Amino acid sequence: MDFITQGVVGAAAAQAFLHKQDKHNAWLVGALAGMAADLDVFIQSASNPMLFFLYHRQFTHSFLFIPVGALLVTLILLMFKRFRKNWRLTLLAAVIGYATHGLLDACTAYGTVLFWPFSDERVSWDIISIIDPFVTIPLFIGLVWTYTFDQKQGVILALIFTSSVMTFHVFQHHRALAAIRSEVKKQQLVATKIRALPKIASSTSWKGIAINNRLLVFEVITPLFKTTEIKFIKNYPLFLPDALPEYVKKSPTLLSDFKIFIWFSEGYLILVKTFPLLIADGRFLYDENFSISLWGIQFLPNRAHVKAIHDIEVDKPTQ
């Protein structure tokens, strides 16, 4: 999720556990540790854009890295006297805050490698968008309440409310998925993958995607007290590894870039252009017609690495 929410969740969790022992520092340590995993965004290169796709939400977000990340945050904070007074509480707050990051990101559609280095599977539960004020704002209010009035109940109630919101999103996600499966079956299609992804800050508006021999896109509405509505929007040509052109197959670096991107996008690839080959991530389609992809890559002959392209219009015939 966005770094503000990550910081607020880390702060709330640390404050809930350690308010009595360290009222003034627990929330701050938790906030900094809750955001720290996203420092992996600095692992990137202008000449090789795939470094970002490979390492963002990778090892720094895994369960195994939690104690390492928390220790690094603690060591930096120990340069300041206020955090050295009780370094054990500082370390514990850092562990709590850091531990929230990967789990929160896994609730989104981006994908998080929680089980690295034992597995490279991208965990994405698709239950909440990357920005949701119904998560961020109540937790912030609870933190302010607890810190200002020295009452732990504030942050506890905020965490309970946020947990209820997340549970509701799980229920809504189930409704959206059921509607997509029903529609696919109704159309007598065989889909190998089906997902329902929430729109920004919404629990009632979803984007459905399914892989048949093409990428199918649906709009799903799950109103609170009404029947779920689903509408087929369009389908796009699916890109498969067998269709890679020879100039990509013969280039070790371009072929490696493709393998990284198909892993990153979990196979939801749209063929936008055949030459030079341009493919887009079919998970992150936006605008009202789902006709623009957030990002994709282009394979240029005589170039060592792919070119990253953002905001790609995919609603055009391939050339």
Write the pLDDT tens digit of every residue in 73-86. 999 999 999 999 99
Number of domains in the chain: 3
Q: Binning pLDDT at 50, 70 and 90, where does residue 317 land?
A: low
Using DSSP's 3-state secondary structure scheme, residue 237 falls into strand
User: Is residue 319 in some structural domain?
Assistant: no
Q: Encode pLDDT of 135-188 as tens digits.
A: 999 999 999 999 999 999 999 999 999 999 999 999 999 999 999 999 999 999
Question: How far apart are the two ends of the chain, measured CA to CA in Å?
Answer: 36
Residue 174 belongs to a domain = yes
pTM: 0.94
Residues of the domain holding 262? 238-313
User: Does position 319 have pLDDT exceeding 60, yes or no?
Assistant: no
Task: Name residue 282's amino acid.
Answer: G
In this structure, the answer to whether residues 218 and 120 fall within a common structural domain is no
The tens digit of pLDDT for each residue in 240-272 reads 999 999 999 999 999 999 999 999 999 999 999
Crossing angle between the packed helical segments 153-186 and 133-149, to the nearest 10 degrees: 170
Asked if the structure places residue 147 within a domain, the reply is no
Does residue 218 lie within any of the structural domains? yes
Same domain for 108 and 15?
yes
Residues 14 and 100 in one domain: yes
Entry field: residues in the chain: 319
Tell me, yes or no, whether 230 and 304 share the same domain. no
H helices of the chain, in order, are 3-18, 26-36, 50-55, 66-77, 81-84, 87-106, 133-149, 153-186, 246-249, 252-264
Same domain, 194 and 300: no
Cβ atoms of 318 and 274 within 8 Å: the answer is: yes
Nearest of 310, 312, 314, 297 to residue 50 by alpha carbon: 297
In this structure, the answer to whether residues 209 and 249 fall within a common structural domain is no
* Of 185, 201, 236, the domain-final residue: 236
- Among 192, 208, 236, where does a domain finish? 236
